[in-house]
């Protein structure tokens, strides 16, 4: 376990990171604080890429595998601070908990990763085989895995540890996520004479009902490939005395292992073609949403909203190596899957890099009012991360 100095260090770093607000695109303050920590603790290099991800590296004395600890440093907004019992950026400690936006999602894990790397380097006098990378990742709340592509291209890791909340359990998979946009195109006219136009919303209503008849895909471990309507917009809006000529519906699609952009859209497109063959006034298409955001570096980040699912076998050697080490340290981790999307969509789903999740706290604390992390969880996960390094860097 950590000694008192090490416990105090990880708590202090967590507080320091939380005290710097960092919604997506405004992570620069946290980047500077992580850079300062890396430099003060003897990391061999610190790199900030075009998106503003910050990556610290410690090299062992012998060649070996590269392990990347991935933790995003952007947070969702606070909302109305007056609804919080504790200042969301004060990182106040009350009853063994640190309160504040990003404590559980996921600056606590980032602090633990950085401290664990420094602790491991000191404890071993860098006599280990391989390289340790700790990445503070931007824009994860908007694009799971997009900024991570730049990190994996730079690091080329052999293993990735995702620090999203898991209550110290090992997570070896997740469903992915896609945003599918369905658009109908009508003909505008005065609403006093609707027969002269084609109402795109009426056409969309028929399309929505038809889409609900599609059977979801299924995976024995990850469950159903959910397709759920999340919003509808029409144009012109407001439509004062005008029949809408355009309607857009957005669907959230939860992705299973092996599903591709083509395979996910195929049944939807087949259904839309059938509907158009039956109705010569219907014009409809489906595509993936594309997101664009400005980074704190001034560069733009862009990504099609398709983030693959992934799953490893709990019998895989790297999973069992970590599991055995944590057990030997006195922990009792379960081996399950995340119920939400993470940067693992890129590392495991796109790049095929051996990936697992291990984080502190409960996932249902993310994005909540009065978000907090228990100091006990923070300290224990820092200890667990040193166990991961011992298990894999040999």
Active site residues: 74, 140
> Of all residues in the chain, what percent are helix, strand and coil, respectively (each to 5)?
35, 30, 35
DSSP secondary structure letters along 27-60: -HHHHHHHHHHHHHTT-SEEEE-TT--EEEEEE-
Contact 166, 108 (CB under 8 A): no
- Helix (H/G/I), strand (E/B), else coil: 93: strand
Rounded Cα distance, 22 and 19, in Å: 9
Q: C-alpha angle 271/272/277, rounded to 5°?
A: 100
What separation, in Å, do the N-terminal and C-terminal C-alpha atoms of the chain show?
21
* Closest of 379, 389, 263, 381 to residue 7, by C-alpha: 379
User: Which uninterrupted H or E stretch holds 267?
Assistant: helix 261-278
Buried b (16+ CB within 10 A) or exposed e, 214-225: eeebebeebeeb
């Amino acid at each position: 376990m950590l000694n008192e100095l090490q416990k105090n260090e990880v708590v202090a770093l967590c507080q320091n990171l939380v005290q710097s607000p960092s919604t997506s695109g405004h992570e620069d303050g946290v980047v500077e604080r992580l850079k300062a920590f890396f430099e003060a603790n003897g990391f061999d290099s610190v790199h900030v890429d075009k998106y503003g991800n910050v990556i610290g590296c410690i090299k062992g004395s012998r060649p070996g595998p590269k392990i990347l600890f991935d933790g995003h440093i952007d947070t969702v907004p606070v909302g109305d601070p007056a609804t919080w019992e504790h200042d969301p950026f004060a990182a106040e400690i009350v009853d063994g908990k640190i309160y504040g936006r990003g404590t559980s999602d996921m600056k606590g894990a980032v602090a633990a990763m950085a401290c664990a790397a420094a602790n491991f380097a000191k404890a071993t006098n860098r006599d280990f085989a391989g390289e340790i990378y700790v990445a503070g990742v931007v824009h994860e709340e908007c694009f799971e895995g997009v900024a991570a592509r730049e990190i994996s291209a730079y690091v080329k890791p052999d293993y990735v540890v995702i620090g999203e909340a898991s209550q110290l359990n090992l997570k070896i998979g997740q469903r992915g996520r896609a945003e599918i946009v369905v658009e109908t195109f009508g003909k505008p006219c005065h609403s006093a004479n609707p027969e002269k136009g084609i109402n795109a919303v009426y056409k969309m209503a028929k399309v929505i009902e038809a889409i609900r008849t599609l059977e979801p895909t299924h995976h024995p471990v990850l469950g159903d490939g959910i397709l759920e309507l999340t919003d509808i917009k029409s144009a012109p809006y407001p439509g004062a005395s005008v029949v809408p000529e355009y309607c857009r519906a957005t669907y959230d699609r939860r992705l299973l292992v092996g599903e591709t952009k083509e395979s996910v859209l195929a049944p939807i497109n087949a259904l839309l073609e059938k509907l158009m063959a039956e109705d010569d006034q219907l014009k409809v298409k489906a595509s993936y949403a594309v997101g664009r955001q400005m980074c704190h570096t001034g560069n733009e980040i862009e990504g099609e909203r398709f983030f693959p699912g992934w799953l490893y076998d709990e019998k895989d050697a790297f999973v069992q190596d970590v599991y055995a080490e944590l057990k030997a340290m006195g922990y009792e981790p379960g081996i399950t899957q995340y119920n939400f999307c993470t940067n693992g969509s890129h590392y495991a789903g796109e790049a095929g890099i051996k990936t697992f999740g291990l984080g502190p706290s409960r996932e249902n604390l993310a994005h909540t009012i009065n978000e907090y992390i228990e100091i006990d969880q923070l300290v224990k996960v820092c200890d667990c991360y040193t166990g991961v390094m011992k298990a894999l860097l040999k």
